[in-house]
Amino acid sequence: MMKILTAAQMQYIDRLTTERYGVPSLTLMENAGAGVVEFLEARFAPLSGQRMLILCGRGNNGGDGFVVARLLRERGARPRVLLFARPEHLRGDAAVNFERLAATGAPEIVENLETWTRVKPALQEATLLIDGLLGTGLSKPLEGLLLEVVRDVNRLAGPRIVAIDLPSGLSADTGELIGECVHAHASVTFTAPKMAHVFPPACEYVGEWVVKQIGTPPEALEDPELFLELIQPGDFAWVVQRRPLTSHKGTYGHVLVLAGSVGKTGAAAMTAKAALRAGAGLVTVATPRSALPIVASLGMEFMTEPLPETEAGTVSRRALDDGRLDRLMEGKSVVAVGPGLGMHPETAEVVQSAVNRCPAPVVLDADGVNAFAGCPAALQAAGRVRILTPHPGEMARLIGKSTAAVAQDRIGVARDFARQHQVHLVLKGFRTLVASPEGRVRVNPTGNPGMATGGTGDVLTGLVAGLLAQHRDRPANEVAAAAVYLHGLAGDWAAREKGEASMIASDLLEAVPQAFQELRASVSRS
């Protein structure tokens, strides 16, 4: 479990660590500096061969920079240190660490643009630049001297830039850019990532990032108000456990896929194949009668069942009236509803009724979600497992807002909907979100822009359903998070093999076995 924090939450946790758990704040700063040096030694050794320049501000980020400089000097390196403040303006732990550093050689003071003009040739001389100007405390755009410094840093072509905690100019509290910021090659943050490390476009400016633990006990992060988490492969050891030798196909569940229509048969087949690739023992596709021959021709491993159809070639109300759909849902481990169903009014009526009558867990995607557009209260989910996997447009239709409004507040929209309607919500997109009825929101780090192609959502629906069929004893939000993580891993594998522009959904489907292998390797390392 890795929390994602705001600046205020991080400050609270640091204060809690000192006041409740007895770890002095000076120790936290010392450990932070040591963590940065550890990263530098791992990436840029030998440090004695680097021409290092450390830029320090007046706050705790600058204090971390002082610790870094002192520890580097103790190791025989000779970093040049610039302080963008008067020493008498330093406070607290930063002031203490300034004095400790000054004992080995005081930093150069940069008070104004005139002084900066005189010393900034040091930028061109450096091979490694450490940004300790501002860190996580910024809430407004840079201006004045620091803005000019950041602009000059970003003009550099030579040195590698490592940010302490967060590149200067970024706000820790949002993925949005609030102004100009340092474009770092790497960032070393502490205790937990911040919003800017994870969400775009800010995450594009932090470079490679690592989290260093500085002495905060895990229990300090257990507050339920800290609801945002980054999905980690170590969370999913249960997904890649060896199967018992006595396994049979009934052991791993039977998925019913209610999907497809005339002209949209591929969605049904893709969902079914993904459920099988996820490891489901049996998969049956229920689809309109005239679409069935095409669906069946697209896969040898899943079964098919014909349903009555409308004049448009979509599922008809008669599938409910004659009890056929109810009989098909009996005994199924999971029912996946929606891909390629179409938006005929009769079909929407079938979806609403089937979803609310189904005793088994339901995964609802695409036109399954669209069937509840504007009337989410019709989704009677309380006490039953219902997992919705909309993209932002489908989410917007579901709640009666614009797609732009959803995109502007993805976390809030997902969390509020999941809690209000007691469902598990997978809001797709870059950094897909998995929100639970309890208000927990997990953020997926895998995936790439090549997945922005038709059919990849159908693969995700099948993966969720297939994993859920096998792991009925696991919390549904964990299963959904595992499926989302694997889906992104498969997309990353496919992108490496095919290229982002050329990959198609079937490439992602074929990469699912490699995704499982990669997850297994990650779990074994963790």
Rounded Cα–Cα distance for residues 318 and 417 (Å): 32
Query: For 396-418, how does the pLDDT look when each residue is reduced to its tens digit (9 = 90+)?
Result: 999 999 999 999 999 999 999 99
Looking at the fold, whether 281 and 179 belong to one and the same domain comes out as no
Looking at the fold, whether 206 and 295 belong to one and the same domain comes out as no
137 pLDDT above the threshold of 80: no
Q: Which of 433, 518, 436, 443 is nearest to 192 (CA)?
A: 443
Looking at the fold, whether 251 and 156 belong to one and the same domain comes out as no
Q: How confident is the model at residue 470 (pLDDT cuts 50, 70, 90)?
A: very high
Q: Are 216 and 192 in contact (CB under 8 A)?
A: no
Please state the three-class secondary structure of 238-281 as a single string.
HHHCCCCCCCCHHHHCEEEEECCCCCCHHHHHHHHHHHHHCCCC
CATH number of the domain at 337, please: 3.40.1190.20
Query: For 310-368, how does the pLDDT look when each residue is reduced to its tens digit (9 = 90+)?
Result: 999 999 999 998 899 999 999 999 999 999 999 999 999 999 999 999 999 999 999 99
Domain boundary among 226, 252, 269: 226
Q: Determine the average pLDDT of the residues in 479-500.
A: 97
Paired sense of beta strands 80-83 and 108-109, if any: parallel
Phi-psi group of 22: left, alpha or beta (phi > 0 → left; psi -120 to 50 → alpha; rest → beta): left
CATH number of the domain at 162, please: 3.40.50.10260
The 10 Å CB-count burial string (b at 16+, else e) for 211-239 is bbebbbeeebbeeeebbbbbbbbebbeeb
User: According to DSSP H, which parts of 89-130 are helical?
Assistant: 92-102, 113-119, 121-125
Looking at the fold, whether 324 and 428 belong to one and the same domain comes out as yes
Looking at the fold, whether 28 and 70 belong to one and the same domain comes out as yes
Domain boundary among 198, 226, 254: 226
> Rounded to a whole number, what is the distance in angstroms from the first to the last CA of the chain?
12
Query: For 261-277, how does the pLDDT look when each residue is reduced to its tens digit (9 = 90+)?
Result: 999 999 999 999 999 99
Query: For 163-203, how does the pLDDT look when each residue is reduced to its tens digit (9 = 90+)?
Result: 999 999 999 999 999 999 999 999 999 999 999 999 999 99
Task: Give residue 371's pLDDT.
Answer: 97
41 pLDDT above the threshold of 80: yes
Looking at the fold, whether 261 and 196 belong to one and the same domain comes out as no
Domain count, the chain: 2
526 pLDDT above the threshold of 80: no
Looking at the fold, whether 222 and 237 belong to one and the same domain comes out as no
Task: Give residue 135's pLDDT.
Answer: 82
Looking at the fold, whether 184 and 251 belong to one and the same domain comes out as no
Task: Give residue 201's pLDDT.
Answer: 95
Domain boundary among 211, 226, 241: 226
What tokens were used for 286? 């229920």
Query: For 365-402, how does the pLDDT look when each residue is reduced to its tens digit (9 = 90+)?
Result: 999 999 999 999 999 888 899 999 999 999 999 999 99
Q: How confident is the model at residue 525 (pLDDT cuts 50, 70, 90)?
A: confident
Task: Write down the mean pLDDT value for the chain.
Answer: 95
H/E stretch holding 393: helix 392-399
- Show the domain range for 43: 2-226
Rounded Cα–Cα distance for residues 251 and 256 (Å): 16
138 pLDDT above the threshold of 90: no
Looking at the fold, whether 184 and 315 belong to one and the same domain comes out as no
Rounded Cα–Cα distance for residues 164 and 277 (Å): 42
Looking at the fold, whether 171 and 253 belong to one and the same domain comes out as no
454 pLDDT above the threshold of 90: yes
Looking at the fold, whether 138 and 247 belong to one and the same domain comes out as no
Handedness of CA 352, 354, 357, 358 (dihedral sign): negative
Handedness of CA 434, 436, 439, 442 (dihedral sign): negative
Looking at the fold, whether 193 and 239 belong to one and the same domain comes out as no
